[in-house]
Amino acid sequence: VRQRSIVGMEALSRGQWSNGRLITPSDLFRMATAEDLGAELESRCRQTAVETFAGLASRPDELLLFLNLDIAATDDHEELPAALAALVRGANLLPRNVAVEFLEARLEDVGRFGALADALREHGFLVVLDDVGAGHSNLDRIPLFRPDVLKVDRSFVQLLDDDPNGANPIVATILQLADSLGLEVVAEG
């Protein structure tokens, strides 16, 4: 904010009906899963996001791509870090320019997520704990996943304007926690 510059952008997937109406990501992935195409859609979204980001004109070298990964829709958990690194390097990017966010709502095996986060970090990716303070992203996951970035849930960010006295203490606590752990913080929205 102080430098008035963009430091990152998030890749978002949207489908489109033949009438031009957008399909929400949750509906899009639900429909793909129902047709046994969830892993293929997840892979295609990953590829498109990386290639689009790499093709941005005058993209600063330090710009970050925030990339969502749905573990439930990915068949190749063990191969994913190396495959993602190859995809990123094949697009003439470096893993350090990609911040990997996991859709944790469907995450069942926390230990497996921790191992995957470690493997991604070993390849040079940033690991992001998304939706901090809401739903499945509880603070107890921070020591398990050791994220590089905490992404504060949009509901708290919106409350800063609507109810500053209700949200400020929560956001302030997350900021203090992140500062004490040496983590970066992103506010959703």
pLDDT tens-digit profile, the chain (189 residues): 667 778 899 998 888 999 999 999 889 989 999 999 988 998 999 999 999 999 998 888 889 999 988 766 665 678 889 999 999 999 999 999 999 987 655 556 667 778 888 999 999 999 998 878 776 556 777 887 889 998 888 887 777 777 656 667 778 888 899 999 999 988 887
The reported pTM is: 0.85
Question: Which strands, in side-by-side order, build the sheet including 8-10?
Answer: 8-10, 64-69, 98-102, 126-132, 149-152, 184-187
**SS3 for 35?**
coil
